Structure 1
């Protein structure tokens, strides 16, 4: 809990900045109100987290706060507005000689343009993976497909096109040829491998009597799956799981990347698993996780 004297002092600093901003630029009252709200919220967070006061913070505190806001569901627009308020505040303090360094100087605003992908929470993923009824062929197949999708981060097209000769069950990996003909090996993990083994033994074997059938995932007639047919099944299971947000064919792929990063995985390792040739492509999947990584770097790197 913040000490009243410190809270009052920080509020006074904010009001002094707003007075100066009004005199310098004649900003509208709504803008000043938004800045006041953002800056006081930041000051409260500093107090509650035991961080330095407003005029003593470094880049690490700014990054941690942005990460906390994003983790709490703040939009890119809201985060960009917040960073704009912080920039103006600290540039003003720098001009006034109140601080020696601007803690926002090397903090990037959220990028606009391509919308950030939607991912599920870990609890939602658990419900989705449990939704298929594994007493049926379709349930066994769908559970295996969902488990593989979440365990590997494969593109849906890579999943439905998976052949038996691409799966090494003994080593627990799949060999995938992605965009541009780039090949990668992706580990399955114990849970996904167990679901795959059960499907192959108790589901697929009963419907694929043709000796030449090579697709891992097949229909009840023993034919290869299509991307569209699989996605209809996913939407049905999402309803069963009580997930009402709109899903895309890449939702589990986004969730795979985000959850790995949230648990401390290296960004370049995730890039390799996803089959991206450019790290910047991987970064669009990280939203919350990326903010967390930047905060960790700023907080712990000796030259952060």
Structure 2
């Protein structure tokens, strides 16, 4: 898929992006929430993300994943950022999240300029958008803001996060419970076009899948030796492997091409091609003849806005944290 410079985005892309927010905003958030109360808010967040990503390409996918993990647990309220012996941050699904220091850095700058105004939840939402932009997404889509920060963060609440080995029906159910469609599921899974996964999350597919003493048959046989070389049997489970072979730092639709070629790294990704209910959507992102095509970048922006409004706290709910890692 061609990625367009910001000043050369086709008109129909601009129309879609300009109109999607009015279709998907809700629950009290709106575009331009800080226009008068903190006009530099979005620029400050973008600057913090850009500065970090310049020295560490793992930052953009890390921030997108963090936003996802935050929204799926008690809504998009920055509860993922809170420190504590049993907070969400300590739960096993969140143990490998990265980029917390970027949110803290942006918050510190914003507190100097606009103390007590910009929520940590909005900083995370904006940082996720800017991460996609820095990785090659086509446009800086408008993010509705106005979220407030949550007052509860419990590791136990992460039990229903979508998992690396969830079958399609479970993934669909978990997304539906958050008001998201099957198309949102396939679209947001496309975030794996950037970033890496630890060997511990998928090595079972390489050596003893379902206690067969053999590999997952859905893995391309030409791809299997490459994965085994990167993740030796009994080796270091923390070693990281690109989720999108050949394009791990570029936001494009090659993730979907890999699924078609049976080169999805996580089981939860590859089953999107194996199941008819999701395969058709993958094909549409690939522009398969005879199907109405979907433009991945634009649909991803739409789905991110929808996800960003899951169970948000606005108005007098929650608070505006002074420090993102702790409740006031």
TM normalised by structure 1 equals 0.27
Higher relative contact order (CA 8 A, sep 6+): 2
| Structure having the higher Rg | 1
TM normalised by structure 2 equals 0.26
Of Structure 1 and Structure 2, the greater helix share is in 1
